[in-house]
Amino acid sequence: TQLLEQSPQFLSIQEGENLTVYCNSSSVFSSLQWYRQEPGEGPVLLVTVVTGGEVKKLKRLTFQFGDARKDSSLHITAAQPGDTGLYLCAAIPGNFNKFYFGSGTKLNVKP
Amino acid sequence: EAQVTQNPRYLITVTGKKLTVTCSQNMNHEYMSWYRQDPGLGLRQIYYSMNVEVTDKGDVPEGYKVSRKEKRNFPLILESPSPNQTSLYFCASKSPTYEQYFGPGTRLTVT
């Protein structure tokens, strides 16, 4: 059983569309991170959110941490082909030693 | 350039033949970790190390060993590999502000 559930698993959209990816858990976490992974490479950290209700923006990407620190969302505005990749959320429990990853959302943005 | 390096990038071996995957980081990070990535399961933590000579189990440590004799190196050892250890392996190091930097990955096939 996955500690973190990501949805959707796959997403194929046209350039210019908006999308939201979700990361949910029944557990409370100290902080949560989002990564993007491209084929043949390791994940690259996009953002860390630590406060319940926190919203962070990275250009066209908006990240939100749920008020109860159990869930998070990633919203992409006007998606571009360069956004194509596997998006992973990772939760960090209270001891800050372990990382729990979701299974990922594979995004394909068609030109 | 700040980076995490892994070797080899690709490895095909047979059941029972001991192997070591090396990992090195040049960022002077105290924390390092190993993950395996399997389709539909995301990344799962194998072992992590808080500092030299300090290692601890992640979620899937069975069949693996690690050592941390120097801060920059964190090798992953498979004493007797089995086919269920066929996977994509990533090494990572973490900064004091919880940013993880991943290596490029090692694709291991055990026949």
A17-34 pLDDT tens trace = 999 999 999 888 888 999
Q: How far apart are CA A98 and CA A89, in angstroms?
A: 14
A40 in contact with B, Cβ within 8 Å = yes
Q: In this predicted model, what pLDDT tens digit does every residue of A57-68 receive, in sequence order?
A: 999 999 999 999
Alpha-carbon distance values, B76 to A3, B3, B8, B39, B66 (Å)? 25, 18, 12, 21, 5
Q: In this predicted model, what pLDDT tens digit does every residue of A72-97 receive, in sequence order?
A: 999 999 999 999 999 999 998 877 78
Q: What is the pLDDT of residue A28?
A: 87
Q: Is the pLDDT of residue A1 over 60?
A: no
Contacts of B99 in chain A (CB under 8 A): 45, 48
Question: DSSP string of A21-82?
Answer: EEEE-SS--SEEEEEEE-TTS--EEEEEE-STT-EEEETTEEEEE-TTSSEEEEEESS--GG
Q: In this predicted model, what pLDDT tens digit does every residue of B76-101 receive, in sequence order?
A: 999 999 999 999 999 999 998 889 99
Q: Are B75 and A10 in contact (CB under 8 A)?
A: no
The rounded radius of gyration (Å) of the Cα atoms in chain B is 13
Q: How far apart are CA B89 and CA B75, in angstroms?
A: 12
Confidence band (pLDDT; 50, 70, 90) for B51? very high
DSSP one-letter code for B73: B
Size of interface A-B (CB pairs under 8 A): 59
What is the residue type of B28? Answer: N
Determine, for residues B43 and A92 on separate chains, whether the beta-carbon distance falls below 8 Å: no
A82 in contact with B, Cβ within 8 Å = no
Of B40, B58, B99, the CB nearest to A98: B58
Q: What is the pLDDT of residue A3?
A: 82
Bridge partners, B102 (sequence order) = B92
